[in-house]
Structure 1
């Protein structure tokens, strides 16, 4: 089963400015990733081919990187997702640009169910928040903030409850 998911936003700023912002991803000065609401994105080195990391249970390695222009990641987890996701800054003429994120791959096993029920809604929410951050940084304002759906809010609540139970179990030696 194939999966293709794309998010993008246009900005009235030169592509070089958006590229500079993209280059902060997973750094100490990351102004793009919505880390206040989502597991932080971390790597074992700079965003260069071979770096390994991810966010939460989603793991990947840097497959390619062109500073100021693009970065592509190859998934290593969760199991059942074979593919990549990437960020690309595209010039759009007259001093404007587009920041695009694409996730593409093949689903197998349990991922055929978990992608539409869990991963896709959460992925869509984090990506829209990331684009909100880009808009704030690049333009100084945010026209229409993204809003989590009731379903995403429910998934996040269930995740927090599960996380607390796992933490309590670890403390009790379970």
Structure 2
């Protein structure tokens, strides 16, 4: 019997190539609590419903944030502007900074639940994980949003398209 989590599916690479044609917003997800502080760059972030406001996050099961996020149970979704590409690169591991050093290169504030939000981002959505499940290689987290901060910036947002960062007005 083949383990579907480790076997390579024949459509895996064509699927990845097709997904590269999808423009996606770029976010840095941060969590801080008893299990520690961590952040990652993500594009697999989507709204589900506005009653109650709930977001969906899909994170690879091998990501170092999984046990930290699961234990802390709270997070902040930082929507990045085009001028914040360096933040996206740091938290994606594209620079030599350690996970802890990534937080030292930017100005951070705390939301009502203590989660870190990066200064200058167009929006911050703070929330609590209310459910999760696994599918294939990923964990799917459902996050009920309990605090939203929106800045008045007119700067374009950062998107990821065709395996490159771009801006979108």
Q: Do they fold alike, i.e. is TM over 0.5?
A: no
Structure (1 or 2) with the greater helix fraction: 1
**Alignment TM-score, normalising by the size of structure 2:** 0.31
Greater relative contact order structure (CA < 8 Å, 6+ sep): 2
Structure (1 or 2) with the greater strand fraction: 2
**Alignment TM-score, normalising by the size of structure 1:** 0.30
